[in-house]
Amino acid sequence: MFTPLCALPLPAELFALAIHPTRSLLALGLATGHVLLDRLPPPSLNENGQGLIETLWKTRRHKGSCRYLIFSTDGQYLISAGTDGLVKCADTETGRVVSKIAIPLHDGEPDPPTLLSSPTPQHLLLATDSSALHLYDLRLPSIPTKPQQTHNPHADYVSSLTPLPPSERSTSGLPRQFLTTGDTTIAITDLRKGVQIQSEDFEEELLSSTLVGDKVVVGSERGVLRVWDVGKWDDEPERIHVGGRDGEGADVLCTIPEELSRRLDCSDGGVIAGMGDGSINIVRLGKGKGKLMGEIRHHELEPVLGLGFEMGGRMVSGGGDVVKVWEQAPTSDAQDADLDGITNGGGEAHDSEDDDEEESSDEEEKQRKRKKRRKRNKSKGKNVGNGIMGFKGLE
């Protein structure tokens, strides 16, 4: 279904990946704390039939690893969070830091970040290992040093966050509520009112989530996708098993763009699931029609860490020490295409700190493994719940 257009070998393990909202740009965060901005190849390929990824700039952005990256909603800024306890906002064009904040401590100790999100142009959400979810107001002249609100929607870290569609009464048209997964639960939080609903224990770890039209898809450590209609949280969800015989986890989910969904015969929408064994699964949604349609492979050993579609409709996957760009394949065996002639690109370096390559510390390695496969054996010997939310506080 997809064929590899080109691949970018990385000098260190990939920890974060973000795709620009309006341009063919890709930001990468590495275990060494480096951040890179790359330009993806144009639709027209070179004489060898392959594309080239060009590195525009590279910098040692964090003294620890770079845990998460996002672009602002307009793409003007690139925001990163690292294990050095800092969130930095940089100009996308130049890579220069324009503002930064310190991540709040937890019981006097550093609280490494797990997630960044900007669900609206006015808000920045920062989640940490302690389960804190900090809300910053971006309408102020500069990013405030302290969050305006802090919530704890889960007993442990927030593993994914998905903005929900605005209500019919919304005058701004911007999302105000968002769904989060954390440990073995799901929660819905309102930007103004805080945590509104918390689910019962699903007895298996929930790793990922995404919005497809008016449906929310949640992926679990056993490779089960649960699909709910937005607002009908107490209904039993549709289940689609994508984890294979070994039950590999659905570590990351990405919504297939509408036009591509039609071409892939996913009239009711579809998702791409990045799995813990390095494979990428294409999944069709639809009541009674949900199924695994195909599989391609990003990496032989390492989990898929990031997935997305750039503005031209090409898919980008990242994990281990490589990033790949894919396009829709005319034949099912096209993924065997040759990837010789790949380049790391040139570009400028805008390092304000030491640019020496460093290995991750033991503590960072523990955090990395925790993020990839958190408490994998926690639910062994237990029966998984029936899948009905049973939300506390649901009217």
Tell me which DSSP letter residue 336 carries. G
336 φ, ψ to 5°? -85, 5
- Cα separation, 15 vs 179, whole angstroms: 23
Which residue has tokens 């695994």? 292
What are the Cα distances from residue 131, in Å, to 106, 160, 312? 10, 12, 36
Neighbouring residues of 276: CB distance < 8 A, sequence distance ≥ 6: 248, 249, 251, 303, 304, 372, 373
Pairing relationship of beta strands 348-349 and 54-60 according to DSSP bridges: parallel
- pLDDT tens, the chain, 395 aa long: 899 888 999 999 999 999 999 999 999 999 999 999 999 988 755 455 456 889 999 999 999 999 999 999 999 999 999 999 999 999 999 999 998 999 999 999 999 999 999 888 888 999 999 999 999 987 766 667 789 999 999 998 999 999 999 877 777 778 889 999 999 999 999 988 999 999 999 999 999 999 999 999 999 999 999 999 998 988 889 999 998 777 789 999 999 999 898 888 888 899 999 999 999 999 999 877 789 999 999 999 999 999 999 998 999 999 999 999 999 877 444 444 444 433 344 444 444 444 444 444 544 544 444 444 444 333 333 444 444 455 554 44
DSSP codes, 105-162? PBTTB---EEEEEEEETTEEEEEETTS-EEEEETTSSS--SS-SEEE--SSS---EEE
Q: What are the tokens at 51?
A: 């594309």
